[in-house]
Amino acid sequence: MANAFSSPSLPSHPGLDEWVSVKPDGRIAVKTGKVDIGQRISTALAVIAAEELDVPLDRIEMIRTVTGEAPDEGITSGSNSMMESGHAVRLATATARRHMLAQAAKRLDVEAGTLEVDDGQIRSRDTNRSVSYEKIQGNKPFEIDVDPDVDVKDPTAHRIVGEKIAPLGLSEMVTGEYRFLHDMKMDGMVHARVVRPPHYKARLNSLDEDLVARLQDSGINIVRDGSFLAVAGPDEYAVIRAAEGLFSACDWEAGDGLAEGDVFESLTANTRESRPVENDGVPQDKPVPPMADPPAGAAATLEARYDKPYHAHASMGPSAAAAISTDDGLRMWSHSQGIYFLRDAVAEAFGIDPETVRIEHVPGAGCYGHNGADDAAFDAAIVARALSGTPVLLKWTREEEHAWAPYATATSMKLRASLDTDGQIIDWNHETYGDTFNMRPRSGPNMSGAARLLSGRYRDNPPPEFIPQPAMFRHMGIHRNLDPLYTFPQKRLVKNLVRDLPLRTSALRTLGAFGNVFALESFMDELANAAGIDPVTFRLNHLEDARGREVLEAVAARMDLAADAGIGRGIAFAQYKNLKAYAAVGVELEVTDAAEIKLRRAILVGDAGEIVDRDGMAAQYDGGFLQAASWTIHEQVTWDRDGVTSRDWETYPILGFDNVPEIETVLIERPGMPFLGAGEAVAGPTGAAIANAIYDATGLRLRRMPFTPEAIRAAAMDA
């Protein structure tokens, strides 16, 4: 089948040898710049390679991503992996297959069209002679480029793609044989812990020198660089005790502490950088037009404000990293989603050549955004450079993960819309307010990469503070999914990057899409109610996209929106970034006498283009729903002047197993269609579907997350 799609990863890595090689034993080694953080991307890529090369899946060896060896595909984020690496691997393996068939035709003295492949054995139908992949290409470079126009397999010929596949490494995980980053062991290795200040603004005045001497006598190394303080030693428990004791013995300059005002008031009152958003989600560098009066012919005009608090990544396992510094350079092991960006930022921070820094991705706690993985890696590198020649394994504590990793910014969304007499939207206004989602470490002018590494700000001679500017790319940052997929005749869309907010923020799954879709889809229900039209029909009346209509109708067909008094039902829909996977979500829930939300049933319908790993894609939808339900019902970061106060699972509760609903996930088949990327599609619709179901059950419209019993009772008192 002729290839109709392009891969953005190939122009910078066109060589076939950068992606595929054949080992002497016939195994196929596949490289990728994307990393597996539990989303099964390595399994999906292996399936693609096995399919194009006509070998069993167990013949594919996915090579761990290492800087300087793997293609640089940027960050594993934004649901881009299948669109970028998936298609690149498909083209690379198709090119490799064609090349080896051509070589086999010469060796067997037959026409290439007479050849067929089974388990890596190339056989001629005319002569029955054969030759294997390893005989042709084993341990040899291809020395050709990937052909972006190569014919790939027709979907009707697929034997593995779309079938039920056990994820790579599953048996090792089940039996306990799998080794995560936290399990690393190296000869002569020491364990390390960072001694953090009480909060962001605190600085170290002095240490108790007597305690330092006693710790050093007991075999504990003390590493200090300005206000960065760490301890390291061969016994992990002794290191933990030393870190606790050293913190208490430090003299900290607390400074002004953290701002304690109402963050939602600050979101709309503070200084901000504002940009209009046009052309399907692209900010414009021009003044924001004022909001006009409602159209003269409007039958009704509604306004609403929706608020989302700060959210933590709250990774189930705290971040970790390993490092060793030698005369040959700095070697690191990290579960970062962007090891090339991290490499360059670390090199920038130390003033060394990036080529002397080697980072290998090793699975650890899932990131799904910019959590503590990059910062832990830099912490380990600081300690390793101070203890040259000694391998260092550094782990964050649960408290560090909750209190020091970047958060998803709190956001506020203000919406106004007008309806005509037929219940059609004739005017739409949506403004979003929030801090940046774009603080991943990226090297650049004025040491901007080093400035975005947490411990960089506490070292001697820290880099200048990095001041983020409004992201001006399509559906990026706080304006992701700000522009609705619905067809409205008149739209005014504005993103507001708010300054001087109290907490450190960066990327977390979906960036601004979760808040924007929660607001948009909640407001669509409010407008449908005002128009006297059922919520599904109201949406379909404004939705021209055929694939969007299909997922929405599929959810509606599986729900009875008018049955069972006391059970609330809600729906919501979006296409992630108006470009990637579609998701429609239906939720059935009840609100108990104690004002607790009990999730009963969830229906998830997805369209993410061609399905390679069906169970993996279903897991992405299921997991995205559960994480977003947790954000919606439970999660919010809290703080006071002295620091973050939500530092554990008691003060930052998440969704429990006792509130996991029955989930029905329906995936629409699109053989041969482009991969759309499913990882983040379902989150935004989940928040809105829960809000809409609560309204259906109680008549209470909740517009500020989380929807805790206290929030529900307060809404009932105000009703």
Q: For residue 71, what is the domain's CATH number? A: 3.30.365.10
Which residue intervals of 21-131 are DSSP H helices? Answer: 41-53, 81, 87-108
Strands (E) across 169-313 are located at 190-194, 203-206, 221-225, 228-233, 251-253, 272-278, 282-283, 300-308
CB neighbour burial string for 275-295, b if at least 16 within 10 angstroms, e if fewer: bbbeeebbbeeeebeeeeebe
Q: Identify the pLDDT of residue 3.
A: 62
Say if residue 82 is in the same domain as residue 49: yes
Helix (H, G, I), strand (E, B) or coil at 614: helix
Q: Are 349 and 293 in contact (CB under 8 A)?
A: no
Which DSSP letter does residue 23 get?
Answer: -
Query: What value does the mean pLDDT of the chain take?
Result: 95
Give domain status of residue 457, yes or no. no
Provide mean pLDDT across the span 343-364: 97
Q: Identify the pLDDT of residue 1.
A: 61
* Domain-ending residue, one of 166, 196, 225: 166
Q: Are 48 and 41 in contact (CB under 8 A)?
A: no
Is residue 465 exposed (0-12), middle (13-18) or buried (19+ Cβ within 10 Å)? Answer: exposed
Say if residue 506 is in the same domain as residue 431: yes
Provide mean pLDDT across the span 499-514: 97
Q: Identify the pLDDT of residue 78.
A: 81
Q: Identify the pLDDT of residue 7.
A: 79
Question: Can you tell me the distance from the alpha carbon of 330 to that of 377, in angstroms, rounded to the nearest whole number?
Answer: 11
At 718, which helix (H) or strand (E)? helix 709-718
Q: Identify the pLDDT of residue 563.
A: 66
Q: Are 97 and 22 in contact (CB under 8 A)?
A: no
Give domain status of residue 344, yes or no. yes
Say if residue 419 is in the same domain as residue 334: no
CB atoms within 10 A of CB 249: 16
- How does pLDDT run across 676-698, given as a tens digit for each residue? 989 899 999 999 999 999 999 99
- Please state the domain count of the chain: 3
Q: Are 399 and 198 in contact (CB under 8 A)?
A: no
Provide mean pLDDT across the span 563-583: 92
Which DSSP letter does residue 18 get?
Answer: G
CA dihedral 366, 371, 373, 378 (to 10 degrees): 180
Question: Can you tell me the distance from the alpha carbon of 230 to that of 53, in angstroms, rounded to the nearest whole number?
Answer: 50
Say if residue 530 is in the same domain as residue 643: yes
Q: Identify the pLDDT of residue 50.
A: 97
Question: Can you tell me the distance from the alpha carbon of 416 to that of 523, in angstroms, rounded to the nearest whole number?
Answer: 9
- How does pLDDT run across 90-138, given as a tens digit for each residue? 999 999 999 999 999 999 999 999 999 999 999 999 999 999 999 999 9
Say if residue 638 is in the same domain as residue 491: yes
Give domain status of residue 515, yes or no. yes
Say if residue 270 is in the same domain as residue 347: no
Provide mean pLDDT across the span 491-510: 97
Say if residue 240 is in the same domain as residue 386: yes
Q: Identify the pLDDT of residue 166.
A: 87
What is the pLDDT confidence band of residue 38, given thresholds at 50, 70 and 90?
Answer: confident
Return the HEC string of 246-262: HHHHCEEECCCCCCCCC
Evaluate if residue 4 carries a pLDDT over 90.
no
Which residue intervals of 250-386 are DSSP H helices? Answer: 263-269, 339-350, 373-386
Task: Give strand pairing partners of 251.
Answer: 206
Question: Can you tell me the distance from the alpha carbon of 89 to that of 112, in angstroms, rounded to the nearest whole number?
Answer: 23
Query: Which residue is it, tokens 């793609």?
Result: 161
Q: Identify the pLDDT of residue 13.
A: 96
Task: Give strand pairing partners of 425.
Answer: 419
Evaluate if residue 407 carries a pLDDT over 80.
yes
Question: Can you tell me the distance from the alpha carbon of 498 to that of 502, in angstroms, rounded to the nearest whole number?
Answer: 11
Provide mean pLDDT across the span 701-710: 98
What is the pLDDT confidence band of residue 560, given thresholds at 50, 70 and 90?
Answer: confident
Q: Identify the pLDDT of residue 305.
A: 98
Give domain status of residue 215, yes or no. yes
Q: In degrees rounded to 5, what are phi and psi of residue 380?
A: -60, -35
Contacts 24+ apart (CB under 8 A), 527-531: 527/302, 527/417, 527/419, 527/425, 528/423, 530/300, 530/302, 530/419, 531/300, 531/419, 531/423
Provide mean pLDDT across the span 617-633: 96
Which amino acid would we find at residue 48? I
Is residue 174 exposed (0-12), middle (13-18) or buried (19+ Cβ within 10 Å)? Answer: exposed
Give domain status of residue 628, yes or no. yes
Question: Can you tell me the distance from the alpha carbon of 337 to that of 374, in angstroms, rounded to the nearest whole number?
Answer: 8
Say if residue 285 is in the same domain as residue 374: no
- Cα angle for residues 111, 113, 114 (degrees, 5° grid): 75
Give domain status of residue 456, yes or no. no
Mean pLDDT is lowest, of 168-182, 400-414, 501-515, for 168-182
Give the structural domain span for 588. Answer: 265-309+408-436+471-718
Tokens found for residue 296 = 């003269």
Give domain status of residue 172, yes or no. no
Say if residue 95 is in the same domain as residue 162: yes
Evaluate if residue 5 carries a pLDDT over 70.
no
From the list 482, 484, 480, the residue with the least C-alpha distance to 508 is 480
Which DSSP letter does residue 658 get?
Answer: G
Evaluate if residue 368 carries a pLDDT over 90.
no
What is the pLDDT confidence band of residue 53, given thresholds at 50, 70 and 90?
Answer: very high
Say if residue 21 is in the same domain as residue 158: yes
Beta pairing, strands 643-644 & 190-194: unpaired
At 573, which helix (H) or strand (E)? strand 568-575
How much is the pTM?
0.96
Say if residue 376 is in the same domain as residue 354: yes
* Domain-ending residue, one of 114, 133, 166: 166
Give domain status of residue 442, yes or no. no
Say if residue 292 is in the same domain as residue 327: no
Q: Identify the pLDDT of residue 719.
A: 75
* Domain-ending residue, one of 384, 404, 424: 404
Mean pLDDT is lowest, of 306-320, 387-401, 551-565, 687-701, for 551-565
